[in-house]
Amino acid sequence: MSPTGKEKYFHKNDQHKSISSNLDEIETILGKLDGSQSPIAEKVFDIMDEIQEQKKFLQNDKKEKIETQLSYVTKRIYSSAKVLLKTIGGKEVLKEKRKIKGKNSDHWWWYLDNYLEEKRKRDLQRTGMIGLAMVVFFAILAVVYDRYLAPPPEVRARIDYETRIDDFIYAGDYISAMSEMEGALALAPDYYPLWIKKGVLEKVLGNEAEEQSSYEIAQQFVENQEYFYYERASIFMQFGLYDDVLTDTDNLLEINAKSAEAYLYRGLVYEMREERSQAYDAFEKAALLAEEQNKNQLVATIRVRMGMLMQSISIPTQEK
């Protein structure tokens, strides 16, 4: 039985390390970076240098075939430049490592900090040119906002708490996040998303009883059971608890078998796990359901995600 078009698309040729395979490996590495110091970042530079050498031996028609993926991966590297530099240990560590490796300035080992330095200069220049105009603009905006648009002080205070909580979670400081959570809940005790986030925090801290208690309190304030699972799946995703995300998508689909959001979450989990064919199927299902429900913004988000996924997958050329 011959494979379908999509099966061919997702098929990988493992017989040799092609440029596409190398680019796939870089994308896998970039998806794992969290800023923690690790030698894994060095592989990005080594592989990109290898790709530069591989390109020298490609015919023009074959170069064209890999340019889209190469361009996409290059943009991802640049967009991840700060976390890459942090993972490798900082600018000075990068300089020392490439000195040891004896890398010339035409290698990727030089491009990263050069790019960040040029970006910093451009940002400073642009900031200087528009700084005065922005000061005036924001001064006017602040007056209008405070007079006509600003939420009540207690809501603004809660948002400040939530920002600090998320900052601590991103830094992996869950104890400090929990401390801020107590202040936020004292201010907004009936705001169910805070109770859900507290429950997930208790989970990662190993406090099972407190976790369940927090979810039960959240249930008292949530107006729709779907909202509870939407919110919790989103927070599980934030913590990288992918099995729990999938469990909550099952819960969502039991309540609403046509939940586009449930399939979107599934697709995101599969994508993070590099199960690309399953991710594509989930996104496709989510997009169709969102279209049926006239959720145009959600459709656009999903379609962009599908496009990025398709670009990230290598399309093998036919072997002679």
**Among 196-205, 248-257, 291-300, 304-313, the least confident range:** 304-313
For the chain, which domains are there?
14-122 (no CATH), 152-222 (1.25.40.10), 225-320 (1.25.40.10)
In this predicted model, what pLDDT tens digit does every residue of 177-189 receive, in sequence order?
Answer: 999 999 999 999 9
- What's the mean pLDDT in 39-49? 75
Taking CA atoms, 271 is separated from 25, 242, 282, 283, 284, in Å, by: 14, 11, 10, 10, 13
Which stretch, 17-26, 116-125, 244-253, has highest mean pLDDT? 244-253
200/119 Cα distance (integer angstroms): 37
- pLDDT (0 to 100) of residue 6: 39
78/92 Cα distance (integer angstroms): 19
Helix, strand, or coil here: 205?
coil
- pLDDT (0 to 100) of residue 96: 75
Of all residues in the chain, the percent with pLDDT exceeding 90 is 28
- pLDDT (0 to 100) of residue 126: 46
Q: Using an 8 Å Cβ cutoff, are 70 and 312 in contact?
A: no
The tokens describing 259, both together, are: 């939940």
- pLDDT (0 to 100) of residue 106: 57
Answer yes or no: pTM beyond 0.85: no
Which among 242, 237, 257, 253 has a CA at the least distance from the CA of 196?
237
142/283 Cα distance (integer angstroms): 40
43/33 Cα distance (integer angstroms): 12
Please report which confidence band the pLDDT of residue 116 belongs to, taking 50, 70 and 90 as the band edges: low
In this predicted model, what pLDDT tens digit does every residue of 206-244 receive, in sequence order?
Answer: 999 999 999 999 999 998 898 999 899 989 988 889 999
For the cut 60, the answer to whether the pLDDT of residue 122 exceeds it is no
Q: Which residue has the higher pLDDT, 100 or 264?
A: 264
Query: What dihedral do alpha carbons 218, 220, 225, 230 form, nearest 10°?
Result: -20
- pLDDT (0 to 100) of residue 133: 41
- What is the CA 61 to chain-centroid distance, rounded? 33
Please report which confidence band the pLDDT of residue 131 belongs to, taking 50, 70 and 90 as the band edges: very low
| Element spanning 161, H or E | helix 153-170
The tokens describing 104, both together, are: 């010339």
Q: Using an 8 Å Cβ cutoff, are 122 and 130 in contact?
A: no
94/85 Cα distance (integer angstroms): 7
78/197 Cα distance (integer angstroms): 32
